[in-house]
Structure 1
Amino acid sequence: MNPKNQQLSVRLKDQRIPTTTLVDLPTELLNQVVSHCAATSVGHLSRTSRSLHEFVEKEGWRTFTQTRFANSSPLVHWRDAARSLTTLSRNWQRRAFLATYLEPSNDASSLPGGQPIKKWRRPAGQTMGFQPAVDSYEHFIGSRWTDRRQVVAWSAGATLMIHVRDKFENNGTRVKWWTYKPLSSVEGRDDITSVRILKPDDQHSRNSIDSSEQIIVGTANGDLQLVEVPPASDSGVIKTYYVTNGISVRSTSLSTDVENTLDQLQHLAANLSDSRIAIYRVDPSQFKVAPVSEIDAIPRSRKGCRIWSTKFLDSKHLAVGLGPSIEPINIFEVRPEGIVEEPVRKIGLTGSADELDPVKASSIYPIEPLMDSNGGRNGNLFLSGGYDGIVRLHDMRSPSPYTAVYHDPTDDAAIYSLLSRGRDRVVAGASRHGLLKMFDLRMSGGSIYDYAGAPDTNDSSIGDWNVFINPRDRYVNSSWRGPNSWMRRSAEGSVYNLSSPSPTSPFIFAGVENAIVEFNFSSVLDKHPDPIFLGSSTKATGRRDNTPSYLQHKQDILNLAMYSQGTDGSREGMKLRTQRSVDETLGQDINPAGLDERWKENQ
């Protein structure tokens, strides 16, 4: 040792250096410590002393949640939010979910008559089943984190389906079903093609299981209406007619930010027929609304090209997916007086601006905006899904057509639907095999929480993965094996639409042919399940049933198949796995570090 260093070491040993404990640290430094802790460490910290407990309750859980889950903004209930979000992150990482078909049962009523539904039957008489359009949302309705209302609406041919789930900590979960079908409607001719729910400005205005929901519905025969289910007055279900001149409605989109509009009203963009775009102001007080403006987004010279989707990126920009075209994404500016006819930007799929890739025509089907790092939408980032099976990330601030691509090396089916999960994941619905594809975005500002620290790569618990919406144990029934079986086609066909009530919700709803599949990202063997995932119900006696909901209806849980996409094509990373039944899983040992206990490797 250097003599000078040795003398310094001796002097330090002789001195009494004051020690600083966590209790002595200022709040700013404690927040820095918590931002690097796991949820269990934050909980342990709160139990070390009274002062640290007070800090964790007032500041610690908020800091942890905002640091690890930047897309969430619960404002209150920070401790409960931390529990739910860490549980959800763990279930996604372990690929733990419960899937079931969502169909009316128990408390269900049909409109306009209001008759109770004893047994719901799917629309019949068509060559193929309905292609559901689906939308959903949730909001708080009580004083607790678990007190929330979830609404899902989708189309079943010419019928509108509404599923409402109210959840309270004290009296369990209540469920209500409504269906609405105009008396003059005919299956096939009057099928619903678009569903958009108007989210309430005042959340307390819809805090009852029987509260009305306002939904904008577009149909193949050219109807575009705002309906209220159930009707709040004797005036009927229909509140507003939007003028379309009888032109078929292909798709619709609602602007999400009304604060930046002059009239403080949402805008509705409707794709009419193959080329027209109409902009409407959403004013439920008006009985009839004409479009603010209309444009023809496809020049007549471009034969064979059509609009596939419309999506508001923010209150001032509308993205249109079309094709086949060498520039299949067009961005239009929306002003108070209407939509500007000439796009502000046209985006192709030929790679970065510095590359000389060959120009090729293609089609873009879904477009999905992404949240910014603050949990809002600034209109700059969005995803697109194409005919070539590639999901692309676009940034309006970049001169490049796209900044990242997400591609499944095992399947190149077209992407028909997209659903972003904050800034950390995106779910893509494929055009065949009933395939859901899960891609990890790993963007800055997204969720960086890892419940296990460093997961074991041998159990395929990391990377991108696919799920077949295919009930593996139900083909034993010979009546489902016929060539016209809707179950067979829905399992092997397209995933037409995807929706989730919120980026922090454990629920995802997938629209396949003739059915809606509900995915609840929950673990069967969780010793301490979060109540918002696996709620209990209230019986007719008024007493709460403490049995988790997945055990009450375990016979309805689907057993699906999954495999990892892999990056190098290795067989190890692409092993097919299938789910055990709930009964079989309950006898398994808990393995929190690997895949969910329901997964078993196919032999």
Structure 2
Amino acid sequence: MALALKGVDDPLRYLEMTPTGWAHHTAVKSARLEEKFGIEYGNICPSSLTPVQPLASSRGGTSLLLSAWRDGSIRLQDLRTPSAVDMVYEDNIDPWSDMEALMTYGTERFIGGGMDSPAVKIFDFRWSKGYQHTMALPCSGAEPSPSPPQPFLKRPTTVGDRKQPVETCGKRCDHVRGTYCLWHGLSRDIYYRPNASFFLSKYDMPDSQRRHSGVWALAKGSDVSPNFYIGIAGGVVEAALEPSGEAWSTNTDPHFGFPNWRDPSLVGAGYRSVPVRMNMMETGDGMLVKDNDRAVRLPPLLEAHSFPPVGDVESQKRYRLDPRFNR
């Protein structure tokens, strides 16, 4: 059993059930990792403790634990290693934002959110990666598409461990020489597959009640579910991990908020649903950098917090995003 405590020097504790009763353990510290990531053992976010199941269909216990801390870091620990931390993640654009809620998708990605802002942050467990799925795709002399609108990372000039110049990448990889084609070389770089943050708009309510809401909780049906749910102040946001187009309402749960999903929905019954818009910002690698001691000033996301109706092309032109962002 993992415990998050307040007011103590070692806030992350473990209880182990033994034949003679409960055994108490404190996570062992590692001077090497403390130096690498600049770790300080301050306060932990009590509601953030999240076990990491290796596979979507896994059941039972696991040795991997994810936890969020008040210094803005998210720490991964493997209980089979003699260390309190094995990897540390952070939103390097807003490094001091607390993650009150965490949710994992196997050992591929995890999602975090906090009450500081209405933002959902997606991290990739697998950086740095030993294997890229693009290795199985055919060689090409074209760049990966679509090109990401990266406001914080520069386009790579070299690829691979040998720092092969991009201009020397041809149409085919040469495995004898250890060189890459342009497609395989660039697609290995995090510039083309970064972590991301999603910023939620103020939901559609009267002006006196309209407000930004922080993230209180995250939940999903399973690792293969196309939707997950974000608990905010005064409501629940349903996030659909699939294209929705104009008919966004057809991809939501038609019975969400009703006591009996078998009965037809009644007019005016259940919770009120409103559209919530979001903006996506690609943020690069999520590994903690100890020298990152301040938040990066963000470009403006929108000209206003209201949104034009779908199909109103002229109004939509007035709500263009900053070109460094991808809506």
Tell me if the contact between 2:66 and 2:77 (Cα under 8 Å) persists in the aligned partners.
yes
Q: Deviations over 1:355-379 (max 9, x none)?
A: 7968643224311111125742542
- What corresponds to 2:267 in structure 1? none
- What corresponds to 1:561 in structure 2? 279
Match of 1:422 among 100, 106, 121: 106
Deviation (angstroms), 1:575: 5.5
Partner-residue secondary structure (3-state), 1:516: strand
Tell me if the contact between 1:331 and 1:345 (Cα under 8 Å) persists in the aligned partners.
yes
Equivalences for residues 379-394 of structure 1 within 5 A: 379-394=62-77
Match of 2:208 among 468, 479, 488: 479
In the aligned structure 1, how far is the partner of 2:26 from the partner of 2:276? 44
Report the residue type matching 1:429 in the other structure. G
- What corresponds to 1:596 in structure 2? none
Q: Deviations over 1:198-248 (max 9, x none)?
A: xxxxxxxxxxxxxxxxxxxxxxxxxxxxxxxxxxxxxxxxxxxxxxxxxxx
- What corresponds to 2:322 in structure 1? 602
Q: Deviations over 1:281-334 (max 9, x none)?
A: xxxxxxxxxxxxxxxxxxxxxxxxxxxxxxxxxxxxx11112344322111113
CA RMSD of the aligned region, Å? 4.5
Tell me if the contact between 2:149 and 2:282 (Cα under 8 Å) persists in the aligned partners.
no
More helix, by proportion: 1
Gap runs ≥5 in structure 1: 1-317, 481-486, 538-554, 588-598
Distance 1:325-1:357 versus aligned 2 partners, 3 A rule: farther
In the aligned structure 1, how far is the partner of 2:72 from the partner of 2:299? 22
Partner-residue secondary structure (3-state), 1:431: coil
In the aligned structure 1, how far is the partner of 2:309 from the partner of 2:37? 53
Deviation (angstroms), 1:535: 7.6
Match of 1:583 among 310, 313, 327: 310
Deviation (angstroms), 1:391: 0.8
Partner-residue secondary structure (3-state), 2:17: strand
Tell me if the contact between 1:437 and 1:466 (Cα under 8 Å) persists in the aligned partners.
yes
Deviation (angstroms), 1:444: 10
Distance 1:582-1:496 versus aligned 2 partners, 3 A rule: same
In the aligned structure 1, how far is the partner of 2:238 from the partner of 2:30? 33
TM-score normalised by the chain length of structure 2:
0.58
In the aligned structure 2, how far is the partner of 1:526 from the partner of 1:448? 34
- What corresponds to 1:458 in structure 2? 148
Deviation (angstroms), 1:402: 1.2
In the aligned structure 1, how far is the partner of 2:37 from the partner of 2:301? 41
Which one has more relative contact order, counting CA pairs under 8 Å at least 6 apart?
Answer: 2
Deviation (angstroms), 1:382: 1.6
In the aligned structure 1, how far is the partner of 2:100 from the partner of 2:29? 18
Tell me if the contact between 1:328 and 1:348 (Cα under 8 Å) persists in the aligned partners.
no
Tell me if the contact between 1:329 and 1:347 (Cα under 8 Å) persists in the aligned partners.
no
Distance 1:512-1:373 versus aligned 2 partners, 3 A rule: closer
Match of 1:495 among 215, 240, 255: 215
Q: Which has the larger radius of gyration?
A: 1
In the aligned structure 2, how far is the partner of 1:351 from the partner of 1:417? 28
Tell me if the contact between 1:328 and 1:346 (Cα under 8 Å) persists in the aligned partners.
no
Deviation (angstroms), 1:562: 3.1
Match of 2:200 among 449, 469, 484: 469
In the aligned structure 2, how far is the partner of 1:479 from the partner of 1:356? 44
More strand, by proportion: 1
- What corresponds to 1:511 in structure 2? 231
Report the residue type matching 1:501 in the other structure. G
Is 2:11 the counterpart of 1:332? no
Tell me if the contact between 1:321 and 1:364 (Cα under 8 Å) persists in the aligned partners.
yes
In the aligned structure 2, how far is the partner of 1:349 from the partner of 1:326? 15
- What corresponds to 1:343 in structure 2? 24
Equivalences for residues 176-215 of structure 1 within 5 A: none
Tell me if the contact between 1:435 and 1:468 (Cα under 8 Å) persists in the aligned partners.
yes
Equivalences for residues 13-28 of structure 1 within 5 A: none
**How many residues align structurally?**
239
Report the residue type matching 2:283 in the other structure. Q
Deviation (angstroms), 1:388: 1.0
- What corresponds to 1:410 in structure 2? 93
Deviation (angstroms), 1:438: 1.1
In the aligned structure 1, how far is the partner of 2:254 from the partner of 2:83? 50
Deviation (angstroms), 1:414: 1.5
Q: Deviations over 1:363-411 (max 9, x none)?
A: 2431111112574254211211111111111111112221111111222
Tell me if the contact between 1:422 and 1:503 (Cα under 8 Å) persists in the aligned partners.
yes
Gap runs ≥5 in structure 2: 138-143, 151-191, 256-272
Deviation (angstroms), 1:335: 5.0
Partner-residue secondary structure (3-state), 1:508: strand
Q: Deviations over 1:23-57 (max 9, x none)?
A: xxxxxxxxxxxxxxxxxxxxxxxxxxxxxxxxxxx
Is 2:42 the counterpart of 1:361? yes
Tell me if the contact between 2:100 and 2:115 (Cα under 8 Å) persists in the aligned partners.
yes
Q: Percent identity?
A: 18
Tell me if the contact between 1:424 and 1:443 (Cα under 8 Å) persists in the aligned partners.
no
